[in-house]
Chain A
Amino acid sequence: MNILDGTATPVMSTGRVVHAYVEEARAEVIRYLRMPGFLLPTMLLPSVFYLMFGIILGAHNSPDAPRYLLASYGTFGVMAPGLFGFGVSLAIDREHGLITLKRALPMPPGAYLVGKMCMALMMAFVVTTLMICLAVFGGGVHLGAGHIAAFYLSQTLGVLPFCSLGLLVGTLAKGQGAPGLVNLIYLPMAFLSGLWFPLPMMPKVIQAIAPVWPAYHLDQLALSAIGMGQGGEWVHALVLAGFTAVFLTLAARRLARHG
């Protein structure tokens, strides 16, 4: 055991900082992979919905339904890892004093959020894979390599606005109150954005206000990715980036102030 030199401030090399981010992300991923009760519902719920409504029921209505609903239920599926992964787990970590400990420790600022983001991106990737498999092998949807790549891209990155919205919710709710609050945002937004029933089938009012919801824009991007879009991809992408920035700023301010 060596005695540290008393006066020199230890220097944290860039390599060590990167290493800290990697270790934090690794710990966060391992932590949730060992919680099947948290993972499985998030991953399986959208797949089961898609199988029932998109493939079994949808295919009866129209041959295009499984393809159209792949975008909707895919979007529904990637909202969950963002909203629950950030909202609920942050609220629980706050209640358990883990955030306080991490703020006291010299954890690089941002490592905690980047760790959770990695987890959310990974889950979004897995959900998207499940949905594509169901669509191709169960629904007989024809997807080219370009479609599949674009769909992965939009859906995996599409988790980010919901991460930042979840983050904001996690700073507002504490512990047990969080899942309820997240569901209050998740389910109505999914419905109002046309993820359960296509927007053209919905009342005019709901169609008119749909662009208010981030999920609507992600759904539009997902539709474009699989060749059913109506254009304006850049607008949707910019709106989503805007949502992300605003939620993130608000959440960061609350976190810095209240912990």
Chain B
Amino acid sequence: MNHDTCIARLEGVHKRYGAVTALDGINLDIHRGELLALLGPNGAGKTTSIGLLLGLHRADSGTVSLFGRDPQDIDARRRIGVMLQSANLPPTLKVRELIRVTASYYPRPRTVAECATIAGITDLLERRYVALSGGQQRRVQFAMALAGHPELLFLDEPTTGLDVGARQGLWNAIRNLVATGASVVLTMHYLEEAEALADRVSVIARGRVVSEGTVDALRAHVAVRRIRCLTAVPLDTVQAWPEVEDASMQQGRLVIATQHAEVLVRRLLAVDAGLAELEVQRAGLAEAFTEITRDSEAADAAREAA
């Protein structure tokens, strides 16, 4: 699905709020038909990046474009759908009315019934928004985001508050939209979601993209693997080995983090013939992510110190 067309872009964008630098020369491209996940700790600049692409703020410097236009141009925004985590909708309106008024802003909207089917809320249409559970409200917001038949959807932490079943349903709906040619930008709270869903992940930290690539590439970025086993070798001995980055005892098991798993496994087996329940695992996305943001912070600190 990945054509080589960029439909939204941040190029060398700086944005400050008073003394706080929210974005520090960020570059970000969004391509047609892709599902891009923005990951990063709170305050990293995800929300500001999205806000600029939605035309909510102006960049201090750099270029922001949406379908080749300024996002503050309403014609550009007629091609996008939006779901903002922070928005509370009018409580007394019914779900049908909320979708209907949102659809009216667009030139070629979906029907209310179509939105409701995709978002799985056909049974909620006559309910007032205030009477819905948090998860149901998220799904209504999703239905509103796709009401305009958008080519690009911005979904700000869409699965917050959803139970496992509803989350799976939303993931499927998002995958189906992408399959019909829409692009989706997600900001995420749960890293596993990126693994399950995204074509591409951009990790944002301190106002810049610090890593960009497929989920696999992101994980490969971190060479750390974890060894677990039951062993009689004392912890201090293991901690003294040069290949060991970190070692600890967790629930009676020795857990080692290392970039040289093979060497260490060989040595452990040589030292302790009675070693049992050996496991070697590549670090998960969560660890990769922590590693990457820590690396970038360390690099920043080094640069500032220099």
Chain A residues near B (Cβ < 8 Å): 1, 3-4, 6, 9-13, 16, 19-20, 22-24, 26-27, 30-32, 34-35, 96-98, 100-101, 103-109, 259
Interface residue tally for chain B (C-beta within 8 Å): 39
**11 A-B residue pairings within 8 Å (CB atoms):** A4-B181, A9-B67, A10-B79, A11-B107, A12-B75, A24-B101, A27-B93, A27-B97, A31-B90, A100-B86, A104-B84
For the complex of A and B, the 10 pairs showing the least CB-CB separation, nearest first, are: A96-B88, A23-B104, A34-B92, A104-B54, A101-B87, A97-B87, A97-B86, A3-B181, A106-B77, A10-B107
Distance in angstroms from B87 CB to nearest chain A CB is: 4
What CA separation (Å) do A218 and B100 show in the bound complex?
A: 38
Verify A98–B87 contact, CB threshold 8 A. Answer: yes
Verify A12–B78 contact, CB threshold 8 A. Answer: yes
B223 close to chain A: CB less than 8 A: no
Knowing A10-B107, A24-B104, A34-B92, say if A105 contacts B77 (CB, 8 Å). yes
Q: Please indicate the chain B residues that have their CB under 8 angstroms from the CB of A24 in the complex.
A: 101, 104
Q: Please indicate the chain B residues that have their CB under 8 angstroms from the CB of A259 in the complex.
A: 56
B235 close to chain A: CB less than 8 A: no
From B92, B105, B149, contact of A108 by CB (8 A)? B105
Distance in angstroms from B144 CB to nearest chain A CB is: 9
What CA separation (Å) do A103 and B180 show in the bound complex?
A: 27
Q: Please indicate the chain A residues that have their CB under 8 angstroms from the CB of B5 in the complex.
A: 6
Verify A105–B79 contact, CB threshold 8 A. Answer: no
What CA separation (Å) do A4 and B149 show in the bound complex?
A: 8
From B56, B101, B154, contact of A23 by CB (8 A)? B101
Q: Please indicate the chain A residues that have their CB under 8 angstroms from the CB of B84 in the complex.
A: 97, 100-101, 104
Verify A30–B87 contact, CB threshold 8 A. Answer: no
Verify B82–A35 contact, CB threshold 8 A. Answer: no
Verify B55–A104 contact, CB threshold 8 A. Answer: yes
Verify A101–B107 contact, CB threshold 8 A. Answer: no
Verify A12–B107 contact, CB threshold 8 A. Answer: yes
Q: Please indicate the chain B residues that have their CB under 8 angstroms from the CB of A104 in the complex.
A: 54-56, 77, 82, 84, 154
From B80, B89, B181, contact of A98 by CB (8 A)? B89
Chain B residues near A (Cβ < 8 Å): 5, 32, 54-56, 67, 74-75, 77-80, 82, 84, 86-90, 92-93, 97-98, 100-102, 104-108, 114, 128, 148-149, 151, 154, 180-181
From A1, A34, A98, contact of B180 by CB (8 A)? A1
Q: Please indicate the chain B residues that have their CB under 8 angstroms from the CB of A35 in the complex.
A: 92
Q: Please indicate the chain A residues that have their CB under 8 angstroms from the CB of B180 in the complex.
A: 1, 3
Q: Please indicate the chain A residues that have their CB under 8 angstroms from the CB of B87 in the complex.
A: 96-98, 100-101
Verify A10–B88 contact, CB threshold 8 A. Answer: no
Verify A106–B148 contact, CB threshold 8 A. Answer: yes
Q: Please indicate the chain B residues that have their CB under 8 angstroms from the CB of A101 in the complex.
A: 82, 84, 87, 89
Verify B107–A19 contact, CB threshold 8 A. Answer: no
In the complex, which of the residues A1, A20, A32, A35 has the most CB atoms of chain B within 10 Å of its own CB atom? A1
What CA separation (Å) do A9 and B68 show in the bound complex?
A: 11
Knowing A6-B151, A101-B84, say if A107 contacts B75 (CB, 8 Å). no
Q: Please indicate the chain A residues that have their CB under 8 angstroms from the CB of B88 in the complex.
A: 96-98
Distance in angstroms from B21 CB to nearest chain A CB is: 20
**CB-based nearest B residue for A16:** B107
In the complex, which of the residues A10, A34, A101, A105 has the most CB atoms of chain B within 10 Å of its own CB atom? A105
Knowing A34-B92, A96-B88, say if A103 contacts B79 (CB, 8 Å). no
Q: Please indicate the chain B residues that have their CB under 8 angstroms from the CB of A100 in the complex.
A: 56, 84, 86-87
What CA separation (Å) do A16 and B92 show in the bound complex?
A: 25
Q: Please indicate the chain A residues that have their CB under 8 angstroms from the CB of B78 in the complex.
A: 9-10, 12, 106
Q: Please indicate the chain B residues that have their CB under 8 angstroms from the CB of A22 in the complex.
A: 104
Knowing A31-B93, A35-B92, say if A9 contacts B79 (CB, 8 Å). yes
Verify A108–B90 contact, CB threshold 8 A. Answer: no
Verify A107–B108 contact, CB threshold 8 A. Answer: no
From A4, A9, A30, contact of B93 by CB (8 A)? A30
What CA separation (Å) do A13 and B151 show in the bound complex?
A: 19
Other than the known A4-B108, A34-B92, A259-B56, what 15 A-B pairs have Cβ atoms closer than 8 Å?
Answer: A3-B181, A9-B78, A10-B78, A10-B106, A12-B78, A23-B100, A97-B86, A97-B87, A100-B84, A101-B89, A104-B154, A105-B102, A106-B75, A106-B148, A107-B105
Q: Please indicate the chain A residues that have their CB under 8 angstroms from the CB of B100 in the complex.
A: 23, 27
Distance in angstroms from B37 CB to nearest chain A CB is: 19
What CA separation (Å) do A80 and B111 show in the bound complex?
A: 38
Distance in angstroms from B3 CB to nearest chain A CB is: 8
Q: Please indicate the chain B residues that have their CB under 8 angstroms from the CB of A19 in the complex.
A: 104
Verify B82–A105 contact, CB threshold 8 A. Answer: yes
Knowing A9-B75, A27-B101, say if A106 contacts B106 (CB, 8 Å). yes
Verify A106–B56 contact, CB threshold 8 A. Answer: no
What CA separation (Å) do A25 and B92 show in the bound complex?
A: 15
Verify B90–A106 contact, CB threshold 8 A. Answer: no
Verify A103–B74 contact, CB threshold 8 A. Answer: no
Knowing A9-B79, A31-B92, A98-B87, say if A106 contacts B105 (CB, 8 Å). yes
